[in-house]
Amino acid sequence: MTRDTAGGVRAYLVVFGALLALTVATVGAASLHMASARAVTVGLAIACVKASLVALYFMHLRHERALVPAMLALTGVIFAGLIALTLASEAGHMPGTRFAPAFDVTEEAR
């Protein structure tokens, strides 16, 4: 309860500054028109750093004991399973069984 001393407030302001800087960075990176795979990587990486800063400092996650981080990690793993397995199922469709013609178009283009 005594964590929020003047030093704590200074840390919040530093984090706030970092978040603003990263916002500028992500807009700047987008204006470079990188190849889409690289742009996605950079954009999501910056977003992950920003999100971690918010979670660790503003939401005080770094002060939490194991229970909450473990639960969030479990949530992360399950979310990763959802997106990875859904995409893998859809990407692996046997020819002729796709509902959206869009899939066939990209397949043939490759």
Task: Say how far apart CA 96 and CA 58 lie, in whole Å.
Answer: 50
- Tokens in use for 93? 């469709």
Q: Is 59 in the site for another protein (CB under 8 A)?
A: yes
Phi, psi dihedrals of residue 59, rounded to the nearest 5°: -90, 5
C-beta neighbour count of 45 within 10 angstroms: 12
- For another protein, how many residues bind (rule: CB under 8 A)? 66
Q: Is 51 in the site for another protein (CB under 8 A)?
A: yes
* Interface residues toward another protein, by CB under 8 A: 1-4, 8-9, 12-13, 15-16, 19-20, 23, 26-27, 29-30, 36, 39-40, 43-44, 46-47, 50-51, 54-55, 57-60, 64-65, 67-68, 71-72, 74-76, 78-79, 81-83, 85-94, 96-103, 105-106
